[in-house]
Structures are given as structure tokens and as C-alpha cells.
Chains A and B, each alone.
Chain A
Amino acid sequence: MVLTEKIEEVIEWLGEKMTALTHILAKIKLQVTDNEHTSSHIEAKPYSNPYYVGFGLGLVLLAAFVIMGRGLGASGAVSSVVTFGVNAIAPEYAQSNDYFSTYIGDGSVSPLKDWLVFEVLGVIFGGFLSGMLAGRVKGGVEKGPRVKTRTRFIFAFIGGTLMGFGAKLARGCTSGQALTGGALLGLGSWAFMLAVFAGGYALAYFMRRQWT
């Protein structure tokens, strides 16, 4: 498929840029630490106290409410990017599809010129910044010791697909529904949150090989 190839290309390109950026920042970081220590080895710091992190995250969310009158999100940005991609490859098709056409609107504004797209760019940057400061930008694959990397990649893709579909159906993901709607006491958001945990726990037993 042309589309998936295109997406792969973009991701590859992004990955390259990101690795390059990682190297540059790692050098800077090394220089800084070299001045302090003789060793150039960076120890990954342990993660912070979850309650403090939660408090901080709550303040960020509150800031979004106060400044923008809306909460955080993530999957909406993916929708915009997908719309942009489809619209670039097959504009007629994108406009005929009811779902894409709502994201295109009247066509005067690019689907990428969207609040959530910029927010997610910030998320990527902020995550990188935090990881860098704590020496946690290390790469690697997240999995348990019992599965092969290849298997993990396949499961990541399948999980992602379910996630994307579910997030669209539920009108939001863990950020947009559970976190944002949860803080605003939305009924649907709380029902959604319970369902997420239910779905996760229901399958956890069958997935244990991947993680433990």
C-alpha cells in the first residue's frame, strides 16, 4: 500500500532526525558532565515520586483548562496527521470520506494546523527533555525477557491499531477522555476509564509472557 509506505518513510525520516538530535544533545550533555566528573558514563536516574508527578501533571492539565478552556489529548493529533496524509495522497477520496472531511473542514486550514498536533509536538519535546536530563534516552525495546523483539514489534503494532480504533470510537484516549474528562467529572469519561481498566485486566493474563 502506498499510504503505509509513505507513513513508514516519514517515521523513518523522523527517527533519523531524532537520533541525530539525540547525538547532538548527548554530546552537549557529556560536555557538561565531563566538567563535573571525569567519567562520561551517565547513570539513568530512578523515576520520580508518582504522587509528585501526578500533582505536576494535574497542574499542567489545570493550566490547559484555565488558558485554553480545554484539556489535553493525543490521539486527535494522529487523526489530523492521518487526514493530512490521506488528503495529500488522494484528496478526492479524503473529501468524500465523512470522517476525514470533518478534519479537513473547508480546506482553508491545513489539518496539521491543529491544537493537538502542536501539543503532541510539545509532548515529544518535553519527554525528550526530561529523559535527557535524567539520562534515560537510551533507546532499546520495552519487553519482558521471554519474548523476541520481533514478537514485541508485532504486538506493539496490533495493540496500537486497537488503541487507535478504540480511541476514535470512544472520542478520546487516556489523555483526552480519562484524564481531561475525569477531572471535569464527565460521565462518559469515567465510564470509559473503568472500561479501559476492565479491558486491560481482562487480557492481562494472556499477555503475561510479553511482560513478565
Chain B
Amino acid sequence: MNAPFYKFDLFGFDVSLIIAFVIGIGFGFALERGGFGSARILAAQFYFTNMRVLKVMFTAIVTAMLGVFYLSFIGYLDLSLVYISDTYIIPQVVGGLILGMGFIIGGYCPGTSFVAFSTGKKDAVFFILGVTFGVFIFAELYPFIEVFYYSTNMGRVTLPDFFGLSYGMVVFLVVLMALGAFAAAEWGERVMAKKGESK
């Protein structure tokens, strides 16, 4: 058991920044390949005409989830050392709703807006400015929402803890759900394409 490498002091903070850059390249490359540099493709997710967002996201989640699970199983990765943010259920749901609205209005999320920016999309610049402004507003309002921000803290809770299922069972259910979502997405895209033709 010697992963995560950073937590076992295999390298220091400065080296971790170089690794951040390299991992970021992989991240950005994948996002661009997926078509996430285009707000129209991202927004199409919400009109059921192009479900790439769902497909890419869930495939990535399932891949990483299975990877983490099996690497822990063979004793290579110490999962308890992988950072999971605490659950603050209400602020997170409210934040998610606001963020989802921002998504359909603005057309990007922070990560994808950087990719759109790097491929020259001008609207992405305004989006990034908006995100910057939004963060600034949050910091300004922070004294007023601090109580809410820290409310409903549930600690480090995972789905298996919450539902009282074994970790492996939840992994399986997530895989099943993802595969079901993929099948539905493929079907939905075909239906919408036909509808588009008949118009």
C-alpha cells in the first residue's frame, strides 16, 4: 500500500504543482475531445438532442469509481487517504440548483469554460469573468451566509454509509444506473433526431 503517493511523501509540494499541470493537461484534453469546449453541445444536454455531457461524465465516474475500488481491493491505494469533501446537504443542493441554472444560462461550467477559452470562444471570456465576479460576490456576502454555509453538516458521508449498503453493492448499482442512463440517452437522441427531421 503506497498510494496516494503525495500523502506518503513521495514528493513535495513544488513537485505536486508540476503534477497538477500535467494532470490538468489530461483533463483539458479529454474535455476538448468530448466536445465540452462548445456551449451549444453542453446546452444540448438540457434539450435531449445531444447527451454527450451525461455520457462522458458517467463513463468517467464509473471508470474512476471502479479503478479506485479495485486498487483499494488489491491493497495498492489507501482510500481513507483520498480526500472527500464533507457533506453539507442543504447548501450543496441549493448551490447545485443555482449552478445548474447558471449552466443553462451561461452555457459552460468552470472547467469547460477554460477549454472553450483556450479554443478561442469569445463567450467563454465573459463566462469566466462572470465566474470571477460570482466568487467575489460570494466572498462579499460570506459573513451573511456563513451560518447557512456551515449548516446541515453530515461529515464525511458516502452513499454506502447513508443507505447502509456495502460499498461493492453501491458500485454495482452505480454501474447499472449508468448503463441504463446510456441506453436511455441513445434512445432519446434517436427520438429527438427523428423529431427534428419531421419538423
Contact = CB atoms under 8 A, between A and B. Distances in A.
A and B touch in the complex (CB under 8 A): yes
Given A58-B59, A168-B138, A129 B103 contact: no
Given A143-B40, A201-B46, A192 B96 contact: yes
The listed residue with most A CB atoms (<10 A of its CB), out of B26, B88, B105, B182, is: B105
B40 to A, nearest CB: 5
Nearest to B45: A200
A190 B110 CA distance: 18
Contacts of B67: 58-59, 62, 65
B119 A122 contact: no
B104 A200 contact: yes
Chain A's interface: helix, strand, loop or mixed, by majority? helix
A54 B60 contact: yes
Band of interface residues on B:
35 or more
B120 to A, nearest CB: 4
Chain B's interface: helix, strand, loop or mixed, by majority? helix
Contacts of B154: 187-188
Contact of A59 (B6, B63, B89, B92): B63
B64 A136 contact: no
A173 B99 contact: yes
A116 B115 contact: no
B95 A167 contact: yes
Interface string B15-39: 0111111111111111111110111
Interface residues of A, number: 133
Contacts of B142: 97-99
Contact of B23 (A63, A137, A188, A191): A63
Interface in A161-212: 161-179, 181-204, 207-208, 210-212
6 contacts: A73-B111, A162-B99, A162-B106, A179-B60, A181-B84, A203-B100
Name the 9 nearest CB pairs between A and B, nearest first.
A159-B106, A122-B24, A160-B130, A164-B134, A199-B100, A58-B63, A54-B59, A170-B95, A195-B96
Interface of A: 3-4, 7-8, 11, 15, 18-19, 22, 47-48, 50-51, 53-75, 77-79, 81-83, 86, 97-100, 113, 115-131, 134, 136-144, 149, 152-179, 181-204, 207-208, 210-212
